[in-house]
Amino acid sequence: MLVAVPSIPTRPADAGTPRERRPAEAYQIVRDGDVVRLAGDLRLHDAAEIWRDIRDQTESAGTSIELDLSGVEAADGSVIALLVDHRAALAARGVEATLTGANERVETVVELYAGHDGPTTQKRRKPESTIAQIGRATVDAKDEAKAILGFLGSMLVAVVTLVRNPRAGHWKEIAPLSERTGADAVPIILLINFLVGFVMAFQSARQLKMFGANIYVADLVGISLTRELAPLMTAIIVCGRSGAAFAAELGSMKVNEEIDALRTLGLTPFGWLVVPRVVALVLVVPILTLIADFVGIGGGLVVAVTDLDLTSHGYLLETIHAVKGWDVVTGLVKSVVFSIAIALIACQQGFAASGGAEGVGKRTTSTVVTSLFAIVVIDALFTVVFRAFDI
């Protein structure tokens, strides 16, 4: 019985041309400047010859060398292990060796043997054209819109189900959620809105002094806070604080398959997770807005007393005269709509998370950005509607 033993090659005379090979050999190694091109099948029975050829072709390498695997159709793990080991040996000599151009199957093997010691294969990416970018963005927008509509439909079904069968809801979760989103947010709400009222009064103090209209600082601060700034600033704080938290929580549950576990247990994720969060925000955000109204007016009071020579009694009387009940109600109505938008956007982004921690982080960021955009748009729509109906 004859056994074919591969012969040990001698070093080629010309490093730029491939060594003469038997027709049966299924691989080729050619050096072109600082690039060593490998092609064909890198199999175990040729591992010794491949390793010797690679060593010979890279012996005279300068500071860097590229091992191009774009022509490799298949590779055994032993050959890739030798390539990775030889790359480490070159690095010890001060030569930076990179593996590039591997197809998907070969790259999987390279990543398996390269581990976390360094970069694996570097894919050569062609620049994407403008038309391709527009098309990809359009498809992504279509998929996102489809997911949003599906979420809203499922949410509506969950609400109808809870109306028919209230016991199916996770109502015990509302109290802890209200504490986290409401009571824990009071300090930052107090600070931010006090500074808003203070800065607004302070910025207008000089102009009011010029016309002897110091008392009207109460009108300016009171009306602007109750109608616009208090609900808007409160919603922004809740968006960055509670909205991001909701998205991160639900996103982590989604990637860890905890939401699928709820379905397995016969529980509806929307009624169990989404509805309590929407109800909690709807309850606490108007209360936070009322607190913001009082605190912002207090910030204006500090400026009125210290810089505009007004008494606290006169400032408060003018505020009561200027601010009507409808001004406060307007802000509360806005805060309710803001809270619903924040909760739904956060929960939808959390349910759409995928891909592990990176996907959760992206959805959390998207929650904040989308919520801020939605808050501004809703506020503008309220302004237009109130103006159109002369409210």
Q: What is the mean pLDDT of the chain?
A: 83
Q: Is the CB of residue 217 less than 8 Å from the CB of residue 300?
A: yes
Q: How far apart are the first and last CA of the chain?
A: 102
- pLDDT for res 246: 93
**pLDDT tens across 57-78, in order?**
777 767 777 888 888 888 777 7
**pLDDT tens across 214-271, in order?**
899 999 999 999 999 999 999 999 999 999 999 999 999 988 888 888 888 878 888 8
Least confident of 21-25, 42-46, 113-117: 21-25
d(CA 47, CA 77): 10
Domains of the chain, earliest start first: 27-122 (3.30.750.24), 145-388 (no CATH)
Q: What is the mean pLDDT of residues 29-42?
A: 81
Is 1 a residue whose pLDDT tops 60?
Answer: no
Burial of 9 (0-12, 13-18, 19+ CB in 10 A): middle
Least confident of 28-32, 89-93, 177-181, 266-270: 89-93
